[in-house]
Structure formats: C-alpha cells, structure tokens
Amino acid sequence: MLRTITSLVFLCIICCSAFASQQDAIKSVSYQKAPEWVKQSKIDLNTNADKAPEISVRYLLSDQQYNIATKNKSFYYQVIMQPINENGLQHVAEVNFSFNPKFEKLSIHHIQITRDGKTTSRLIPEQIKILNEDASLKDKQVNGRVTALAILDDIRVDDIISYAYSIDGSNPVLGDKHFGRFATSWGVSIEELHLRLLSKKKSKINFGESQLAFSKKSTSSIDEYTWQIENTIAAVQEDRLPSWFTPFGFIEFSEYENWKQVNLWAIDLYQDRTISPELNQKITLWNNELGSTDEKIAAALQFVQDEIRYFGIEMGQNTHRPFSPDTVFSRRYGDCKDKTTLLITILEKFGVKAYPALVSSFAGKVLDQQTPSPGAFDHVIVKLEYDSKDYWLDGTMSHQRGGLKNIGFIDYEQALVIKDSQSKLTKIIPPENSASTIETNEVYHIDEGRGPTLLTVETTYKGLRADSLRVSLASNGQKVLAENFLNFYSQTFPKIQSKSEFKINDDTNANEIKIISDYTIEDWTVSKAGKKIVSLYVPEIRDYLQSPTTLVRQYPFYVPHNVNLVYQQTIRSSQSKPLSYDDTGSKQTNRYFNYSKEIKSKEDGVTISHRFEPKTSYVEASQTADYVEQINLLKNQLGFVIIYPENSGQPIKQQDTKLRNLAKRLLNKG
C-alpha cells in the first residue's frame, strides 16, 4: 500500500571486482585455443531436438571446469545451443563474457556455428566490444567489471552455436584458498551437463551440502572431480520466492573447511584503526560534551550514517578490505566496510567492544547451510557488545534515531563476527519489541446528513518504519506524503478532501513519527429505510495478506512481515446511538500471524481495534492451502458495518403520544 514506505537499506555488495581502464581491459582479452588442463567435451551435434515446443532454445551442452590446482584459479566454460524458433534467435545472437581485468584474463577459444553439418568460425576479434559494467554506479559503487560482447550476424533457426572461453586469475585479497560454484540446473533442461574440478592433490575440498555424486581420479599432483548429467531437470518458475531461496541447483566447492578459516581470512582485513588528528578531535569532542556512553554511541552512529556519504570504490583489494578510518573520515564517504571500520574505531575509543560482522543481505536465513567461504557474504555491519547486551548496528542505514534503546532493527539472522578465535556463525537474536509498528487511529465523526463526515487520522510509525519514513520525507518531502495519504483514502472514499495541513511530529528519542491528518468525506454512507449504514474496512492489513499466484507449488513463498499493525477505527455520531452492529470480537492465532479484533462501545462512539502481528517471513509450499484459508478467514474480519438511525428531524416526543396512538389506531384500522 501507498502509505507503507519501503525501507531503503543501502547494501554494500562485496564483490570480486576492481577498477581498470579500457586499455587494460583490451589487453586482458586474448583469442587462443583452450588451455591444456581443459578436457574438451565431444558431443554428437546430429541428434534431433526432442524438446517441448514451448522451449525456444535447445541447450546441447554446458561444460564448466575449474582448475584450482594452481595458485591462480582458472575457469573454463563451453556452451552449445540451438535456437529452435524465431523467439530463440534473440537469446543466442549475443554472446557476452564478464570478467574483471584488474586480476582476471579472458581468453575466448572459439565462437562457431554449425549449419547443415558445416561448421564455420564466427570469432572476429575486431568486432568484440568491451563495455564497462558501470550500472552499479546506481548503487553508489564503482565496480571495475567489464563485459566482452560479441554480436553474431546471420543466425538462423536450427543453427548450432558453440562458444568456449576461460578466465584465469582471482582477486588476491581472497587469499590462497579458492571457492566457487557450478550451476547444475537452469530454467531449461540441458542435454549434457559436464562439470570438472581440478585441485591440488590431497587438498581438502568442502562440497558443503551438495548431494550430487562425483567420480574422482587422481594423478600424482592433482585430484580430478567430474560430474556428467544428461537431460537436467529444468527448474520450475514460481512466484514470490523468498530471497534466500533459489530453485536453481548448484554445487559449491571451497577450500575453506569451516567458518573459522573464513574468520581467519577476514580478521586481517579489519585491523586498521588509524586515527587522524581530526578524527581524534571529533572523538574528544564527543567524549567531553556527551555524558553517557549511550549518548556517545548514538552520536557516533548518527555521524557515520548521516555524515559519511554512502559511496563505495571497490578497487582491487578494496573489494573486501576497508579503507583506513582516517581516510574515510576525511573524505566523508565510504561503503559498508569503510563505515563499519570507522564506527568500530570510534566505539573502541569510547571503551566499548565492537566487531565487524559479515552478513548476507538476502540469504541470512540459510547462511549456515552454505559452504564456508568469503563468497557467502555481501555486507558487513557492527556487532556492539555493551552493557551485557549485543547490538547490531548498520552504518549504511540513514536517518536512524532512537538511540540504542529504540533503534530500528534489521534482521540479518546470522553473522560471522570477525574476532579472534571466532569459529562459528552467530545467530542474531532480535531485541525484545524490535518489530516495527504502524499504529493507525481513525476517528469518523458522522454528522447525520447535515454535512460531510469528518475523518481524523493519527498514524504512528515506530522502529524501522519511522526510519524509512524519515528517509522518504527527506527525499520526497511532506507534500508527496500528504498526497499519498489522500490517494490511499480516496480509493475507499471517492469524495474525500483534505481538511487541514498535515501535521508531522518526529520523536527522535522514542524513534516514533506521528502523522495527523484530517479529511472531510461526502456521500459514503448508504441510507435505507430510515437507516444510515456505515461500512468500514482495513485495507492496510489486507495488504499484508497476500496469497501467491501459483497455489499448487513446490517452493516456499515470501509473505510481508517485519511490521506489527494496530488499526483502530472509531465511529462517532453527533446525533444518535447506533441501532445495531456486530460487537463480537475475534482472535486468530496460527503459525503465520496473530490477529485480534475488539469492539468497544463507549458513550461517544464505537471503536474497533484490529491487531495484526506477522510471525513468519515465508510459508512452506505444503502449507499454502492452509495459509490461504487463514488469510481468507482474516480478510472476512476486516470489514465492519454499523447502522445508525437516519436523522429525519426531531424524534416524536412525549406530548405526541395522542397523535401516535391515533396513527397506530388508523394504521391498524382499530
């Protein structure tokens, strides 16, 4: 819904990237035969496509090979594909190769086409274009990856296209231990999937949770692992998959045996605590001016979040190694690593313990199921150990308020805390009452037909919701928010108008933003047989009750969560008491949410209170039907109808008894 402002969390993508010039990039591309270590696949190209007609491209071969037996990692890849209809042509006519010229070399072995049994080369080095992948600038990161792009002319249906390339080298910051993954299933079936890994003899390879059996051969210096799968099963496409879930299969391999080794790798990267005189001066100022440590921590966090602009230059080692704190402080920008290190440096100066904590922005839930390697993480935050409690602070957030007590909490679920002797992942335990809350209090003053209904809405955002609202207010302004509110209500009440200025009160200590808005609504009640029928609904909660499009499914689905909703609607009539309404409350408790509805009648009106607390971020496929049933049950609770007598003037009074008796007698012909 419109009023819910999406939380804007800047994530710092730790990636294998570095910055390189165009010239460097061109020099890093060569055209030569596949290296010796590669074992080339030979497949029969004369087989006929035996594919379902909905598939537009047939994949005859995917051959992925890694060589980590040498110091530098090498990766070889060959694919053979055949467009089988017009649609398929656009999928195959462009071949691109992505790599990082700073520490990787691309070598294209062949691009060739087999038409009517005749194979011709289509590799024309002069026509290969090198493009910077600068798209990530949008994420405020400079990313040095480039793409070598070959556009193939004159490709026809039924041509068989084969290309092969290899990439040699890896980011030195990742150390001597290698890791990677093979993709084992795609959205379409692959007729021949060949996977091969070469490693140093007797080096321990951690295959994580992969169940796929390999065959292993060894020579005097090398272990060779191979997998050969025919007609792989295409991954099913389903909607609303949770971020941590992928329907595609893969095999991870890693020379890191456990998380302890990853910690050892990382610990060295976060050692720099260089403090410039300016930074020292700032810390001294805080130390002198702020009384409690709580205040100092809050001030430092606010400084790192709001005054260090988010911007990452992830060049070379700096993809994983933060810049020195004094550099970050002086140039006033940095990415997650930079902000984390600066914050830790300051916090340590306050005498509190703080550590970098590597997290995954999308797969935190299943981090412990991943094969240990630096590749499991894409973000780093600060773990603060203070006052016998753990706090998880994210320097890349902005406009967070509320101090340590009321700060909004983002649940990354698991983290690798980088400190001495750390050997395991740490489960992040959400602090009590950490869920964000939106409390809405609507009061409808019904004016008995002599004027429009007055609606006063008080909406209170707490926790992360308050943070996001601050971000939105800072970027869009109050006017846009007021328009969003009005638009939201006009969906229910077409004849609604704003009555007075939007009032916004930001209590930064409590991390609560309260918005008060007033409206007038005309023509929204229904009059019938001397009754005024007033119907209300709670679309805000309904928006959290979303069923997936695919109901018969194999995979779990995401459900909106992380916010508790309290929605209160009060209906007041200036003239009369309601004739009737359903005053039965209700409760619904299940594995997905808690919901309650209470209806209270007071002298000045009737109040309906809905309370909705989501309990999970996803629903298992097997629970789909149950979930849909539960949300439908809840949806039925969100409406409320109350009936008032229609005002038709003064009620018949006592002195009119004679007339009433006369009317009664006449009506009943008595």
**Where does this chain bind other proteins (CB under 8 A)?**
449-450, 526-531, 533, 641, 643, 646-653, 655-656, 658-660, 662-664, 666-667, 669
591 versus 664: smaller Cβ distance to other proteins: 664
Q: Which amino acid is at 405?
A: K
213 versus 667: smaller Cβ distance to other proteins: 667
277 versus 651: smaller Cβ distance to other proteins: 651
- Minimum CB separation of residue 652 from other proteins in Å reads 6
The phi, psi pair for 378, rounded to 5°, reads -135, 10
Q: Which amino acid is at 75?
A: F
140 versus 542: smaller Cβ distance to other proteins: 542
User: 309-310 and 333-334 as β-strands: parallel, antiparallel, unpaired?
Assistant: parallel
236 versus 662: smaller Cβ distance to other proteins: 662
Residue 381, Cβ density class (10 Å: 0-12 exposed, 13-18 middle, ≥19 buried): buried
- Minimum CB separation of residue 654 from other proteins in Å reads 9
Chain position carrying tokens 């140093």: 200
Residues 51 and 213: their CA atoms lie apart, in Å, by: 27
232 versus 647: smaller Cβ distance to other proteins: 647
- Minimum CB separation of residue 454 from other proteins in Å reads 15
For helices 336-349 and 293-306, what crossing angle results, to 10°? 160
Chain position carrying tokens 């753990």: 390
CA 544 to chain centroid: 16
- Minimum CB separation of residue 664 from other proteins in Å reads 5
Cα-Cα end-to-end distance for the chain: 60
- Minimum CB separation of residue 522 from other proteins in Å reads 14
Residues 76 and 99: their CA atoms lie apart, in Å, by: 13
The phi, psi pair for 46, rounded to 5°, reads -90, 5
Which token pair is 283?
């810390």
Pick left, alpha or beta for residue 169 (phi over 0 → left; psi -120 to 50 → alpha; otherwise beta). Answer: left
Do the Cβ atoms of 402 and 508 come closer than 8 Å?
A: yes
- Minimum CB separation of residue 576 from other proteins in Å reads 11
Residues 310 and 435: their CA atoms lie apart, in Å, by: 26
Q: Which amino acid is at 324?
A: S
398 versus 453: smaller Cβ distance to other proteins: 453
Helix (H, G, I), strand (E, B) or coil at 626: helix
- Minimum CB separation of residue 449 from other proteins in Å reads 7
- Minimum CB separation of residue 481 from other proteins in Å reads 32
- Minimum CB separation of residue 525 from other proteins in Å reads 10
If residue 150 lies in a helix (H) or strand (E), which one and from where to where? strand 146-151
DSSP designation for 286: H
Residues 236 and 257: their CA atoms lie apart, in Å, by: 32
Residues 196-216 as b/e (b if ≥16 CB within 10 A, e otherwise) read bbbbbeeeebbebebeeebee
Question: Residue 503, CB half-sphere, CA atoms under 13 Å: how many?
Answer: 12
- Minimum CB separation of residue 497 from other proteins in Å reads 21
509 versus 535: smaller Cβ distance to other proteins: 535
- Minimum CB separation of residue 518 from other proteins in Å reads 21
- Minimum CB separation of residue 661 from other proteins in Å reads 9
If residue 330 lies in a helix (H) or strand (E), which one and from where to where? helix 325-331
Do the Cβ atoms of 446 and 573 come closer than 8 Å?
A: yes
If residue 287 lies in a helix (H) or strand (E), which one and from where to where? helix 277-289
What Rg value do the Cα atoms of the chain yield, rounded? 32
If residue 461 lies in a helix (H) or strand (E), which one and from where to where? strand 453-462
- Minimum CB separation of residue 669 from other proteins in Å reads 7
13 versus 628: smaller Cβ distance to other proteins: 628
Q: Residue 654 contacts by C-beta under 8 Å, 6 or more apart in sequence? A: none
- Largest pairwise CA distance in the chain: 118
